[in-house]
Amino acid sequence: MKIKLFPFLTNDLLEASVKGDVITINRETIDLSGIPAGYRLPGSAVGNRFFLDTDYIERVDGVLNFTLLLPVHWDSPEESRNPAEPIIIDIQSGAVPFPDTTPPIAPIVELPTFIEEPENGGFEPA
């Protein structure tokens, strides 16, 4: 399978695995073996929210090609939210290695501690 990823702003999680012509997305099994060479099926026909509705699932040279929505956050790394080149994963079997779209952790900035001195500058009255 060749899976093209389309960044999509959402809080949904995406996990997938592939075995032959079957893809399992978040524990939902989708059998794509019925798509013959030279034919295509609209992504919307699968009924899974991660398939891009406006793209097609097609078999080219024996390999299934389709586009999945890649969950990203507003503060995910730029290369995930707006990749320079389309992200394409070529996989035959196993867990789909999606890119890490986890937003970076903001650095912890420690503020300086100020010690208040008495108004007289530390002098004691005589």
> 3-state secondary structure string, the chain?
CEEEEEEEECCCCCCEEEECCEEEECCEEEECCCCCCCCEEEHHHHCCCCECCCCEEEEECCEEEEEEEEEECCCCCHHHHCCCCCEEEECCEEECCCCCCCCCCCCCCCCCCCCCCCCCCCCCCC
Could you read off the pLDDT of 58-83 as tens digits, one per residue? 999 999 999 999 999 999 988 889 99
Name the more confident of 80 and 126: 80
For residue 1, give the nearest of 71, 52, 65 by alpha carbon: 65
Out of 7-21, 71-85, 102-116, which region has the weakest mean confidence (pLDDT)?
102-116
126: pLDDT confidence band, cut at 50, 70 and 90?
low
Tell me the pTM: 0.79
> What is the pLDDT, as a whole number, of residue 26?
96
The CA-based dihedral angle spanning residues 6, 11, 12, 14, taken in that order and rounded to the nearest 10 degrees: 60
> What is the pLDDT, as a whole number, of residue 112?
81
